[in-house]
């Protein structure tokens, strides 16, 4: 045994990607089903064309928060009681371009719980007291978020990055939560939920009859149109600062419009991004956290939109070192454009990415998410085989070349809050 020397490492050559069953509910709305689950757990996800970009005055957020708030017959507490009684868990998620309702339960209860969920959504009554309760909570949360540098930077970054498209850049404001516009909520709900289902996914060892029953139950909400998404966002290069009272840290968010997942450079740039800021040993972490101690964490990411995408660097640092941090970020961006990545570092990042890919494909739940994250963008599972091939073939020269195209300091929008 030699403690100085790392044991032999075997690189990953091949990963099995399991394709789920796919049915067409309508030509535009699929049901994706991962059937091989070695236990009794089930997850059902309903995706709706009800994202933040689909409305103004925070209507999408308010409606999303009210989705289980009661029907003419049942209060929200009664709805939750009936689902809890069967051991079910509900979860909802709202993002830019979509909303999602998820159910977690044991398979013996999926049909009953689905019936309860369908009734709750179909009969959503926008009870006055529920609308008020939701607005009250959201109004408080809004004020609280105004005190968080991270949140302020995130919001203002979005506003500036997508300035050329109002539906992507309009931010919530205090007045959104003051006087409820119930007719507008009802309209939004009808257009984007009752006629807004874009995808249904299911993980669970279920009978075909059960799956058919779920399609009957939810399929009637399928969209009868092809949802449109923003694509031509104009580049914004600016430096913006937003003061927040009494803070000891400054939040930094800087980034730029990039490309959609279907772009030919996507996979190779993913590797460049990993080197820069997407793992614990990344250059930004090594320099700004592990060498300088300026922050608890710093990272970079490529974010996907339906027809576009963006790149972002995120951190919160001591206020006194905010400028020094920006200087270090700049030097890391420039180093990638001028120096060749050492072979050793490149090999480490390649192995790391492949290890993460292997983990992301581990088990039916992870595999379904992986399938969604290509299928949503019109890609298929061969994308991942391509990923393995492209990652393995990556060279230091290509890293430098891509950094030169996509990571020029002058192209960045830089937002700070604190």
Partner 1 sequence: MIEFNRFKLDNGLTVLHHFDPTTPMAVVNTLYDVGARDESEDRTGFAHLFEHLMFGGSVNIADFDAPLQFAGGESNAFTSNDITNYYDILPVQNIETALWLESDRMLSLAFTPKSLEVQRNVVIEEFKQRYLNQPYGDVWLELRPLAYREHPYKWATIGKEIRHIEEAEMEDVKAFFKAHYHPGNAILCIAGNISLERTRELITKWYGDIPKSLKPERMLPKEPEQTEFREKTIERAVPNDAFYYAFKMPERRSFEYYVADIISDALGRERSSRLYARLKKELKLVTSINAYITGSLDEGLLVIDGKLSDGVSFEELDKALWETLNDLIDHPFSPEETARLLNKIRTMKEFQEQGLLNRAMNLCIYELLGDANGVNEENTLYQSITAEHIQKQAAAMLQKENCSLLRVKALQA
Using CB under 8 A, which residues numbered 92 to 151 contact partner 1? 104-106, 129-130, 132-133, 136-137, 140-141, 143-144, 146-149
177 contacts 137 by C-beta, under 8 angstroms: no
Q: How far is the CB of 142 from partner 1 (least distance, A)?
A: 9
- DSSP class per residue in 195-258: T-EEEEEEES---HHHHHHHHHHHGGGB-SS-------PPP--EEEEE--TT-SEEEEEEEEE-
Contact stretch for partner 1 (CB under 8 A) within 78-86, 116-124, 219-227, 386-394: 78-86
Specify burial of residue 189 (Cβ count, 10 A radius: 0-12, 13-18, 19+). buried
Task: Choose which of 58, 76, 155, 201 interacts with partner 1 (CB under 8 A).
Answer: 76
Which of positions 242-261 make contact with partner 1 (CB under 8 A)?
A: 245-249
Please say whether the beta carbons of 231 and 304 come within 8 A: no
Quick one: which of 85, 166, 171, 303 contacts partner 1 (CB under 8 A)?
85
Choose between 198 and 250: whose C-beta lies nearer to partner 1: 250
DSSP letter for each residue of 345-393: HHHHHHHHHHHHHHHHTSSHHHHHHHHHHHHTTT--THHHHHHHHHHHH
Residues 388-407 that bind partner 1 (CB under 8 A): none
We find the least distance from the C-beta atom of residue 260 to partner 1, in angstroms, to be 28
Residue 362 contacts partner 1 per CB under 8 A: yes
- Run of H or E residues at 185: helix 182-189
Nearest to 58 by CA among 143, 145, 176: 176
Nearer CB in complex with partner 1: 300/308: 300
295 binds partner 1 (CB under 8 A): yes
Distance CA 117, CA 68 (A): 8
Does residue 347 bind partner 1 (CB under 8 A)?
Answer: yes
In this structure, are residues 347 and 309 in contact, taking their beta carbons and an 8 Å threshold?
no
The residue among 209, 186, 187 whose CA lies nearest residue 111 is 209
**Only segment of 157-165, 194-202, 230-238, 352-360 that touches partner 1 (CB under 8 A):** 352-360
Does 279 help bind partner 1 (rule: CB under 8 A)?
yes
Which of 225, 280 has the CB closer to partner 1?
A: 280
For 199, phi and psi rounded to 5 degrees? -170, 145
Judged by CB under 8 A, does residue 377 bind partner 1? no
Q: Is 337 in the site for partner 1 (CB under 8 A)?
A: no
* 283 vs 285: CA distance, rounded Å: 5
Q: Name the β-bridge partners of 16.
A: none
Q: Round to the nearest angstrom and report the end-to-end CA distance of the chain.
A: 52
Q: How far is CA 59 from CA 18, 239, 252, 316, in A?
A: 38, 30, 28, 30
DSSP H/E element including 62: helix 59-65
Q: Does position 39 bind partner 1 by CB under 8 A? A: yes
Q: To the nearest whole angstrom, how small is the minimum distance from the Cβ of residue 235 to partner 1? A: 31
Residue 199, strand partner residues:
47
Nearest distance, CB of residue 229 and partner 1, angstroms: 32
Least Å distance, CB 305 to partner 1, is 27
Torsion angles phi and psi, residue 379, rounded to 5: -105, 170
CB of 69 to partner 1, least distance (A): 10
Contact segment (CB under 8 A) with partner 1 among 23-31, 32-40, 46-54, 257-265 equals 32-40
- Closest CB to partner 1 among 25 and 152? 152
The contact mask relative to partner 1 for 166-185 (x = CB under 8 A, - = no) is: --------------------
CB 226 → partner 1: shortest distance, Å? 35
**Of the candidates 19, 22, 24, 87, which one interacts with partner 1 according to CB under 8 A?**
87
Q: Which residue has the tokens 């990042």?
A: 349
- Supply the minimum distance, in Å, between the C-beta of residue 417 and partner 1: 11
When binding is defined by CB under 8 A, the residue of 220, 280, 339, 404 that contacts partner 1 is 280
Check residue 18 for interaction with partner 1 (CB under 8 A).
Answer: no
**How many whole angstroms separate alpha carbon 94 and alpha carbon 54?**
11
Closest CB 193 distance from partner 1, rounded Å = 19
Task: Determine the distance from the C-alpha atom of residue 152 to the mean position of all C-alpha atoms in its chain, rounded to a whole number.
Answer: 19
- Nearest distance from C-beta of residue 132 to partner 1, angstroms: 8
Q: Which stretch binds partner 1 (CB under 8 A): 153-161, 274-282, 304-312, 395-403?
A: 274-282
């Amino acid at each position: 045994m030699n403690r100085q020397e790392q044991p032999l490492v075997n690189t990953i050559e091949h990963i099995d990607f399991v394709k789920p069953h796919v049915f067409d509910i309508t030509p535009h709305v699929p049901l994706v089903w991962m059937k091989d689950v070695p236990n009794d757990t089930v997850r059902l996800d309903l995706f709706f064309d009800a994202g933040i970009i689909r409305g103004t005055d925070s209507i999408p957020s308010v409606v999303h928060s009210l989705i289980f708030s009661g029907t003419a017959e049942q209060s929200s507490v009664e709805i939750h009681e009936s689902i809890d009684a069967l051991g079910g868990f509900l979860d909802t998620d709202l993002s830019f371009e979509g909303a999602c309702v998820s159910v977690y339960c044991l398979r013996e209860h999926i049909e009953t719980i689905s019936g309860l969920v369908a009734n709750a959504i179909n009969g959503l009554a926008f009870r006055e007291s529920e609308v008020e309760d939701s607005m009250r909570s959201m109004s408080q949360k809004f004020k609280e978020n105004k005190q968080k540098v991270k949140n302020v930077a995130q919001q203002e970054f979005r506003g500036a990055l997508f300035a050329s498209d109002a539906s992507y850049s309009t931010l919530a404001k205090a007045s959104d939560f003051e006087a409820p516009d119930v007719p507008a909520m009802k309209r939004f709900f009808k257009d984007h939920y009752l006629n807004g289902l874009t995808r249904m996914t299911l993980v669970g060892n279920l009978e075909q009859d059960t799956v058919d029953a779920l399609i009957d139950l939810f399929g009637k909400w399928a969209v009868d149109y092809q949802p449109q998404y923003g694509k031509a966002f104009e580049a914004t290069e600016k430096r913006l600062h937003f003061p927040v009272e009494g803070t000891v840290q400054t939040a930094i968010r800087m980034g730029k419009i990039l490309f959609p997942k279907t772009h030919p450079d996507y996979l190779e740039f993913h590797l460049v991004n990993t080197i820069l800021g997407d793992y614990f040993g990344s250059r930004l972490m090594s320099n700004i956290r592990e060498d300088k101690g300026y922050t608890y964490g710093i990272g970079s990411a490529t974010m996907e939109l339906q027809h576009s995408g963006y790149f972002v660097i995120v951190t919160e640092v001591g206020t006194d070192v905010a400028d020094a941090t920006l200087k270090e970020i700049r030097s890391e961006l420039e180093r990638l454009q001028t120096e060749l990545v050492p072979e050793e570092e490149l090999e480490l990042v390649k192995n790391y990415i492949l290890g993460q890919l292997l983990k992301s494909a581990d088990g039916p739940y992870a595999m379904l998410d992986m399938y969604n994250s290509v299928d949503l963008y019109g890609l298929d599972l061969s994308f991942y085989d391509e990923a393995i091939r492209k990652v393995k073939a990556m060279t230091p020269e290509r890293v430098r070349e891509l950094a030169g195209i996509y990571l020029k300091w002058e192209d960045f929008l830089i937002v700070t809050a604190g």
